[in-house]
Structure 1
Amino acid sequence: MKKLTKQMVEQISIGAAVLGTGGGGDPHIGKLMALRSIDKYGPVDILSAHELEDDDLVVPVAMIGAPSVMVEKLPSEDQIVQALSSIEQHFKQKIRAVMPIEIGGVNSLVPIVAAASKGIPILDADAMGRAFPEAQMVTFHLDGYEPGTVAMADERGNTVTYDPVDGNWSEKIARSLTVQMGGSAAMCDYALHGKDMKASAIPETLTLASSIGETLLKKYKGEETAIQELLHKLQGYSLVTGKIAGIKREVAGGFTKGIARVEGMHEDHGRRITLHFQNEQLLVMEGDTPLAITPDLISVLDRETGFPITTESLKYGARVLVIAYPCHEKWRTNKGLEVAGPCYFGYEVGYKPVELLHTSEVGE
């Protein structure tokens, strides 16, 4: 096992915000929490999936709710540990490792808080390969695993455990509880054993996030910019360079929902792009033409630094670059598209892979 360094936490906070496609919560909050926990409890080990024994218990740890709420109501270490301890008590088995349920924003870093405080490793894997807004949108659900006992906790000390019949009911119950818990809560679900984790989780996504962060933290080098390097790494496409010309955003039903308009600049002058998001960026349209469609990944980057901008941080006038890149192959199956494709979110477009929507070379 390797150690999770403070430098890696910095890199993961940036890289996970890219992969989080605007959702998963503010990565700066997660970074500060993770760094504080490492200072308080000591370094955290990173465990690879192949190092798991078949009967090892691995528990995903996350925050659920509207990212906009978490900017004002910061998660607490106590509620994160409280949710995890409830799962441990249920299984009556020592937890081998925790993991991010999604590789996005604060939720990539929240498990570090739990790992440090409990003295256990964090698994280098997640169950989305990105961030999604709903609890059933995980590879575990695609592969037929049930969420099992779910534990949720708020900052007041309230803890709830429940046993949903499937992932869809888990989401419905969790979202209702989240609203009552003030718009955000700590959550543990899909606690699985090593054999099942190795079969279903997407491996090495923390390593990928760290690599992306390392790329974007580099200074520009002549013609090869950090953003160009990023596009090559992700097999991605630059969709538009422009400024945010309008944004409509609201917190409703435990989500941050909205639409942002981007007016093209420089080589894209005269173009008008619309971004549709529900916690995460889910659809990019130019008039009636889709440029990228969920479950493929869409990220909004600061035009100058290349750093990702979350949906709750989008502001009028911001100079941005919108990019898109392919999702994990599990999301392109019939089940994956049923769970997280455009029709599920009510968009009247058919899914088409991002690489088929664009004829330019990867990375250009």
Structure 2
Amino acid sequence: MREIGLEHLAAIARGAAVLGTGGGGDPYIGRLMARAALREHGPVELVPLEEVPDEAMVLPVAGMGAPTVMVEKPPAIEEISAAVEAICGYLGRRPTHIACAEVGGVNSLIPVAAAARLGLPLIDADGMGRAFPELQMFIPAMYGVAASPMAMADDKGNRSVIDTVSNHWTERLARAATVEMGGSATTVLYAMDGATARQAMVPATLSLSAELGELVAEHRATGDAPQAVAARLGGRVLFAGKVLDVERRTVGGFARGVARLSGNGELRLSFQNEHLLAELDGTPVASTPDLICVLDTQTGDPITTEGLRYGQRVTVLAAPCDPRWRTPEGLALAGPRYFGYDLDPVPLA
């Protein structure tokens, strides 16, 4: 793809929800936002990562907060403009390119709406290759890119710019502000130049999202979409069965919980916005930073953590993460032990 038009949104939303590992926000909400922006402003130019010039000013845009809150309080396009204007006023520079902070659900499509609204090209890349719950979990952070200054805006018209001593402090202060803003906010962070973006971002993830979305649609009638997605991602199917129950709560700006699935044994999925650990009959079979994705068994449609319900027939698959997440630096940011699980990353056999 060299541009994103209305005809691409359904596939991107579906595929991004697969890569979002249950998080990243409801893709339907993001699709509505992007559709409204594209109808008003026309298609968005999609630029391959390798074509971004050294001197570019790249701004990643994302929604922050609990996905369960975003379902009831979706972000508005005005929040995006407010956050961008706030960061530009602080930095004294205008962006040349918009980027996705993460590929997943709403956060793959908020940048589409932002690019359309601002009349800027969108980079075919993101900063994670999946979705993660905390904002310091960003591959460019491993290259020394700072999360702050970070701008935030909410639905009430509040705007703020946070400038902190570390990315972890940015997460702490922004999370507290997000809770006060009603559990969700629109953010602009990790501003970087083009040379850094080419080195640090994960390439072609929006194109991959569209490809996965089309793959699901192609295999919907045959019922083997989960298997086709797993093969495309170089992963494997872990489990197929029925959702027995879901314990879900919104705590500290996150949707945290556990889902139990019954099939050939019992699979337990632990999540914090995104799925982080899968245990089959008590034995870990997949873990962060690899992708753990839940798809409807018959249709292949991805199911987010806030969309899991009793009685659903689902297939769970695991796929490899960007290899940089498996370095010591990556595991320190997003490995199992960071989230409190006393185990090393589970190898994908």
Report the AA paired with residue 184 of structure 1.
S
Cα displacement string for residues 38-80 of structure 1 (whole angstroms, at most 9, x for unaligned residues): 0011111001112211111010000000000000011101111
The 1:220–1:279 alpha-carbon spacing in structure 2 relative to 1, beyond 3 Å, is closer
Distance 1:66 1:54, change over 3 A: same
Q: CA–CA distance in 2 between the matches of 1:161 and 1:103? A: 24
Counterpart of 2:172 in structure 1 is: 172
Q: Spell out, residue by residue over 1:162-204, the C-alpha distance to the aligned partner (whole angstroms, 9 max, x if none).
A: 1111111110011000000000000011010101101101111
Matched residue of 2:339: which SS?
coil
Tell me whether 1:260 sits opposite 2:248 in the alignment: no
| Residue in structure 1 matched with residue 299 of structure 2 by the alignment | 305
SS of residue in 2 equivalent to 1:306: coil
**Distance across 1 between alignment mates of 2:276 and 2:346:** 13
CA displacement at 1:24 relative to structure 2: 0.5
Letter in 2 for 1:335: E
Superposed, which structure 2 residues align to 1:104-123 within 5 Å? 104-123=104-123
Residue 102 of structure 2 corresponds to 102
Query: Secondary structure in 1 aligned to 2:337?
Result: coil
**Residue pairs, 1:17-32, within 5 angstroms:** 17-32=17-32
Does structure 1 conserve the Cα–Cα contact (< 8 Å) formed by 2:242 and 2:311? yes
Q: How does 1:1-364 map onto structure 2 within 5 Å?
A: 2-220=2-220, 225-264=224-263, 268=264, 271-355=265-349
Instruction: After superposing the two structures, state which structure 1 stretch, 20-29 or 141-150, moved more.
Output: 141-150
* 1:113 positional shift: 1.0
Gaps of 5+ in 2: none
- The DSSP-based 3-state class of the residue aligned with 1:206 is helix
Q: Deviations over 1:306-352 (max 9, x none)?
A: 01000001001111001001100000000111110000101122213
SS of alignment partner, residue 179 of structure 1: helix
Q: What are the superposed Cα offsets for residues 20-47 of structure 1, whole Å, 9 maximum, x if unpaired?
A: 0000000000011101110011111001
The runs of at least 4 consecutive aligned structure 1 residues that moved more than 3 Å come to 219-222
Q: 1: distance between equivalents of 2:75 and 2:346?
A: 37
Q: Take 1:51 and 1:249, find their aligned partners in 2: how far apart are those partners?
A: 42
Equivalent residues of 2:221, 2:299 under 8 A apart: no
One-letter amino acid matched to 2:21: T
Q: Is the CA contact (8 Å cut-off) linking 1:326 and 1:353 kept in structure 2?
A: no
CA distance in 1, matches of 2:33, 2:129: 22
Quote the Cα distance in structure 2 between the aligned partners of 1:68 and 1:226.
Answer: 26
The 8 Å contact of residues 54 and 193 in structure 2, kept in 1 or not, is answered as: yes
SS of 1:21's partner is: coil
**Paired amino acid for 2:283:** T
The alignment partner of 1:344 has SS state of helix
- AA in 2 matched with 1:16: A
Deviation at 1:221, TM superposition (A): 7.0
Q: Report the alpha carbon displacement of residue 138 of structure 1 after superposing the two structures with TM.
A: 0.3
Contact 2:275–2:292 at 8 Å: present in 1 too?
yes
Contact 2:47–2:124 (CA under 8 A) maintained in structure 1: yes
Q: Is the 8 A contact 1:149 1:164 kept in 2?
A: yes
Could you say what secondary structure the match of 2:285 adopts? strand
SS of corresponding position for 1:160: strand
Measured after TM superposition, the shift of residue 220 of structure 1 is 4.8
- Between the aligned partners of 1:304 and 1:34, the Cα distance in structure 2 is 28
Alignment check: 8 A CA contact 1:293 1:354 kept: no
CA distance in 1, matches of 2:3, 2:271: 35
Using the size of structure 1 for normalisation, the TM-score is 0.94
Shift of 1:111: 0.6
Structure 1: runs of 5 or more not aligned? 356-364
1:139–1:200 CA contact under 8 A, matched in 2: yes
Cα distance in 2 for partners of 1:228, 1:150 equals: 40
DSSP 3-state at the match of 2:267: strand
Measured in 2, the distance between the counterparts of 1:35 and 1:313 equals: 22
Q: Does structure 1 retain, via aligned residues, the 8 Å contact 2:289–2:331?
A: yes
Q: Distance in 1 between matches of 2:280 and 2:68?
A: 27
Residue 148 of structure 1: CA displacement? 2.9
Are 1:47 and 1:121, in contact at CA under 8 Å, matched by a contact in 2?
yes
Q: How many equivalent residue pairs?
A: 349
Amino acid at match of 2:253: G
State whether residues 303 and 321 of structure 1, in contact with CA within 8 Å, keep that contact through their aligned partners in structure 2: yes
Q: Where does residue 360 of structure 1 map in the other structure? A: none
